[in-house]
Amino acid sequence: MLAAELPTGLARELTNAVGGAHVLTDPEITAGFATDWTGRFRGHSPAVVRPGTTAQVAAVVSACARAGVAVVPQGGNTGLVGGGVPLRGEVVLSLVRLQDLGAVDVAAAQVTAGAGVTLARLQAHVAPHALAFGVDLAPRDSCTVGGMIATNAGGMHVVRYGTTRAQLMGIEAVLGDGRVVSHLGGLVKDNTGYDLAGLLTGSEGTLGVVTAARLRLVPLPRERATAAFGFERWTDAVDAVAVLRARVPGLEAVEVMVRAGVELVAGHHGWLPPPALLAPVSLLVDAIGEEDPLQELARAAGELTLVAEPAVATTPDQRQRLWAIREGHAEAINQLGAPLKLDVSVPAAAIAAFVAALPGLLPAGARLDLFGHLGDGNLHVNLTGIEGSPEPIEAAVLSAVVGAGGSISAEHGIGTAKAPYLHLCRTPAEIATFRAIKAALDPVGIMNPNAVLPPP
Amino acid sequence: MLAAELPTGLARELTNAVGGAHVLTDPEITAGFATDWTGRFRGHSPAVVRPGTTAQVAAVVSACARAGVAVVPQGGNTGLVGGGVPLRGEVVLSLVRLQDLGAVDVAAAQVTAGAGVTLARLQAHVAPHALAFGVDLAPRDSCTVGGMIATNAGGMHVVRYGTTRAQLMGIEAVLGDGRVVSHLGGLVKDNTGYDLAGLLTGSEGTLGVVTAARLRLVPLPRERATAAFGFERWTDAVDAVAVLRARVPGLEAVEVMVRAGVELVAGHHGWLPPPALLAPVSLLVDAIGEEDPLQELARAAGELTLVAEPAVATTPDQRQRLWAIREGHAEAINQLGAPLKLDVSVPAAAIAAFVAALPGLLPAGARLDLFGHLGDGNLHVNLTGIEGSPEPIEAAVLSAVVGAGGSISAEHGIGTAKAPYLHLCRTPAEIATFRAIKAALDPVGIMNPNAVLPPP
């Protein structure tokens, strides 16, 4: 439903639910909640509602369901596919006040966290117990537990611990009809009904809104070693991933960059990258372990086809300098203009051919920046300098991904940006099944109506 | 729907779908499909249908949906909660002819398997590539991939690799309306819509029937060491689990037994168990690794409070003898009479008190046998010698489990046996949500109608 202004009854109900101070309607304030990080997706909202408890979230969703007013849940607003902004005048349901963070259960290696807790705060909370959360992302100071669950966030450490879904031991959520489901006991074996936690993970707020989660934790690494390897060709880099997986038991991250991107980031900050990162293709690799993970990396290096001396970080400062180049990509690219961001995964055997075919799909004048998590076959394709509509290019690249047996959304989600392309990856029967599930959990159809499912 | 005999039109459709040779109606033959492994659950069926392809499964389910005739999917019929037998005259949909087993993708460490493939055949298929499936169960020669997915099977190695759900990279299934969903690409990162694989895992055939799955594989251990540790008290055994988890990186299995059970199994076969297994409580522990996992176990043993010399297996024969005692429990207990089997999990901190309270819940003359997967807090409570209705005892034990913060079904599923107790673990809102999901994927309500959800 489009809503330039809230119905009076609903405005009163929202104020009753969360208090007037937490219903923001000043357009200058709501504008910040209505534009995404890339600047590509801009909307507007009659109200940003900021509940402080799960019960308040339920009251807000119930009131909106009764009024038939659509709701867009929002966490740290770090999404890249327009899935967390009110594109058609929806109410924004901001979860950032759900800041509860339970005592760490050290024996079970678990913790319960509210949806609004940032990744950085979660990590700082569990680190004194020699534990860590198994998912790590560059926007760790802003992205929230709820947003990471809604998008089944991936990031750097999937090669070791899996995606966010694999970290969930239980969930609390408000479904589209205002019903609260909560199962936060954290039992490792618990076959009592359907897997609501897994179903809500990656559903992008279209079925309901996650308010808290019971999270599995992993041992905080005592030692971490970092190395950068430079390659002449993509096939050499892809082969290197297989060698690293086989030879480095402590493998934690395998990131890929190309020379043009490294030069862009380095130039932006005035840094001088090591020769390995100035190779045509480079990998940035982390390994952890009790013993000496650097030794593991050094042994594996002997089996790789390199074009430059590996760069090795032996101090936290050196490590930070290598990682800053990798993590600086998104921001440096954004300085070139709002990019068309495609987040895809491709089977290992098809990656080199896919990358080789990419430039042929682009119009003259377009700039291609490519980086990502090669350990998972996950590439971030960033396109800038496109004149006119980006849609033909987007369609061409995503068709090439599907032709290579890949996924049009590896970790960013479908959002609104990829919804028109969902049919490339999922059959009509699957999409019809998604719609049936959506209708079951969000019967009025108010939850994040622009995301995941294309208009029928 | 009760169906002593098939409607004529349906009988013809089933024969057309799978061929007359695969529609079994002779009561002497169907009886074997209508009784479960424990002998506690006995039903009857007008027909056992054995499709050979996913398309045939879809034709069978569609025909039954049109006729409004209920269907019970069945794999190896090794279930223990009455979830796979036709208790009220349903058609049995036997998946054992779905025997496709794809080439092993060594680079990705994945394989695609049909629902009817047994666990033992799957393991034998992938072992030559130095790979293994991460779930292991005692009935490995009978239990099938489809059944393991339907029940989210756990077993011995959950402490290392998680449950069956964690092994799934994709699924093919026929939903309750006959619709086929298939997503078997096996991409590690693929956020394109809702998690149907996770939702169907553990749904016990109530939403649809799994026909094939893309499975993650794990490295086949080069070295495996086995040790048995004996303890005076349950608290010592529970403490030992924490020590083993912290000190043995290659920990693969932590099984618990008690003296009476060990003596029962050993007496049954005329074996002489080592002193460690004749302690009041004992753990059977496997560790794997590249180096010397026996050394890891030996080091950890120094931190345990033991009452007997550990028994160590250094040859496959010795290993097999120790494990035969553990795996012989279910069969030896069955010889005492059809047992009341409760499969529960309890948080580590509550286990010793829960076990201590158990005898007080039982009537005079009842025999308690207790064993399980202590590494996951999963206990199998077996009760024999109960006069009269077992229900009051079942209710008392399951209430004690829930009082301890545990689950009434750790890994066996809800089936029909635990459906009346589902409300002990899940709230009315959660059960209503399960019903909504069931109605979405199985709109006519024909899929395994006796399992998971209690009658409304």
Tens-place pLDDT, residues B154-183: 999 999 999 999 999 999 999 999 999 999
Instruction: Encode B222-259: b = buried (16+ Cβ within 10 Å), e = exposed.
Output: eebbbbbbbbebbbbbbbbbeebbebbbbbbbbbbbbe
**Bridging pattern class, strands A223-231 and B223-231:** unpaired
**Is A407 in contact with B190 (Cβ distance < 8 A)?**
yes
pLDDT over threshold 90, residue B37: no
Q: How far is B198 from chain A (nearest CA, A)?
A: 6
**Is A181 in contact with B410 (Cβ distance < 8 A)?**
no
Token representation of residue A273: 């990258």
Least confident piece of the model among A138-142, A443-447, B287-291, B406-410: B287-291
In order of A89, B37, B381, B382, B386, the CA distances from B338 in angstroms are 62, 10, 13, 10, 10
Task: From chain B, pick out residues whose CB is under 8 angstroms from the CB of A242.
Answer: 107
Question: What pLDDT does A228 receive?
Answer: 98
Q: How far is B432 from chain A (nearest CA, A)?
A: 9
Task: From chain B, pick out residues whose CB is under 8 angstroms from the CB of A174.
Answer: none
Total residue length of chain B: 456
Task: From chain A, pick out residues whose CB is under 8 angstroms from the CB of B418.
Answer: 192
**Alpha carbon distance B130, B151 (integer Å):** 27
**Alpha carbon distance A225, A322 (integer Å):** 12
User: B341 falls in which pLDDT band (50, 70, 90)?
Assistant: very high
**What's the predicted TM-score (pTM) here?**
0.96
Question: What pLDDT does B126 receive?
Answer: 98
**Is B345 in contact with A182 (Cβ distance < 8 A)?**
no
Single-letter code of the amino acid located at A109: A
**Alpha carbon distance A169, B65 (integer Å):** 35
Q: What is the DSSP letter of B264?
A: H
**Alpha carbon distance A356, A264 (integer Å):** 21
Distance of CA A16 to the CA centre of its chain: 34
The closest CB to that of B413, out of A179, A191, A413, belongs to A191
Average pLDDT in chain B: 95
The closest CB to that of B179, out of A108, A179, A433, belongs to A433
Q: Residue B360: in which H helix or E strand, if any? A: none
In order of A168, A253, B23, the CA distances from A373 in angstroms are 22, 8, 50
Cα atoms in the 13 Å half-sphere on the side-chain side of B261: 29
Task: From chain B, pick out residues whose CB is under 8 angstroms from the CB of A426.
Answer: 183, 192-193
Residue A189 CB partners (closer than 8 Å, separation 6+): B154, B158, B163, B345, B373, B376, B377, B378, B407, B410, B411
What is the share, in percent, of chain B residues with pLDDT greater than 90? 94
* β-pair partners for A48: A24, A92
Interface test with B, best of A57, A182, A194, A448 (most B CBs within 10 A): A194
Question: What pLDDT does B355 receive?
Answer: 98
pLDDT over threshold 60, residue B397: yes
Is A42 in contact with A85 (CB distance < 8 Å)?
A: yes
Is B377 in contact with B346 (CB distance < 8 Å)?
A: yes
Task: State the SS3 of A151-196.
Answer: CCCCCCCHHHHCCHHHHEEEEEEEECCCCEEEECCCCCCCCCCCCH
Question: What pLDDT does B1 receive?
Answer: 36
Distance of CA A188 to the CA centre of its chain: 25
Question: What pLDDT does B4 receive?
Answer: 63
Task: From chain B, pick out residues whose CB is under 8 angstroms from the CB of A377.
Answer: 187-189
Residue in this structure with the two tokens 């909560």, named with its chain if needed: A182
Q: What is the pLDDT along chain A (456 residues), one digit of tens a residue?
A: 334 689 999 999 999 999 999 999 999 999 999 999 888 899 999 999 999 999 999 999 999 999 999 999 999 999 999 999 999 999 999 999 999 999 999 989 999 999 999 999 999 999 999 999 999 999 999 999 999 999 999 999 999 999 999 999 999 999 999 999 999 999 999 999 999 999 999 999 999 999 999 999 999 998 999 999 999 999 999 999 999 998 898 999 999 999 999 999 999 999 999 999 999 999 999 999 877 899 999 999 999 999 999 999 988 999 999 999 999 999 999 999 989 999 999 999 999 999 999 999 999 999 999 999 999 999 999 999 999 999 999 999 999 999 999 999 999 999 999 999 999 999 999 999 999 999 999 999 999 999 999 987
**Is B377 in contact with A348 (Cβ distance < 8 A)?**
no
Question: What pLDDT does B363 receive?
Answer: 93
Q: How far is B130 from chain A (nearest CA, A)?
A: 12
Q: How far is A137 from chain B (nearest CA, A)?
A: 15
* β-pair partners for A228: A284, A311
The closest CB to that of A432, out of B158, B163, B179, belongs to B179
Is A153 in contact with A133 (CB distance < 8 Å)?
A: no
Q: How many Cβ pairs closer than 8 A exist between chain A and B?
A: 214
Is A397 in contact with A358 (CB distance < 8 Å)?
A: yes
Q: Residue B283: in which H helix or E strand, if any? A: strand B281-289
Is B204 in contact with B451 (CB distance < 8 Å)?
A: yes
Q: What is the DSSP letter of B160?
A: H
Q: How far is A347 from chain B (nearest CA, A)?
A: 7
Strands, E, within A319-404: which ranges? 340-345, 367-373, 378-384
Residue A100 CB partners (closer than 8 Å, separation 6+): A112, A113, A114, A117, A212
Tens-place pLDDT, residues B100-123: 999 999 989 999 999 999 999 999
User: B54 falls in which pLDDT band (50, 70, 90)?
Assistant: very high
**Is A193 in contact with B408 (Cβ distance < 8 A)?**
no
The closest CB to that of A437, out of B179, B349, B440, belongs to B440
Nearest residue in chain B measured CA to CA from A452:
B193
3 state SS of A113? strand
pLDDT over threshold 60, residue B349: yes
**Is B188 in contact with A409 (Cβ distance < 8 A)?**
no
**Alpha carbon distance B154, B164 (integer Å):** 6
Cα atoms in the 13 Å half-sphere on the side-chain side of A214: 18
Interface test with A, best of B135, B152, B158, B190 (most A CBs within 10 A): B190
Task: From chain A, pick out residues whose CB is under 8 angstroms from the CB of B188.
Answer: 158, 345, 376-378
The closest CB to that of A414, out of B192, B410, B425, belongs to B192
Token representation of residue A401: 């991904």
The closest CB to that of A345, out of B183, B188, B290, belongs to B188
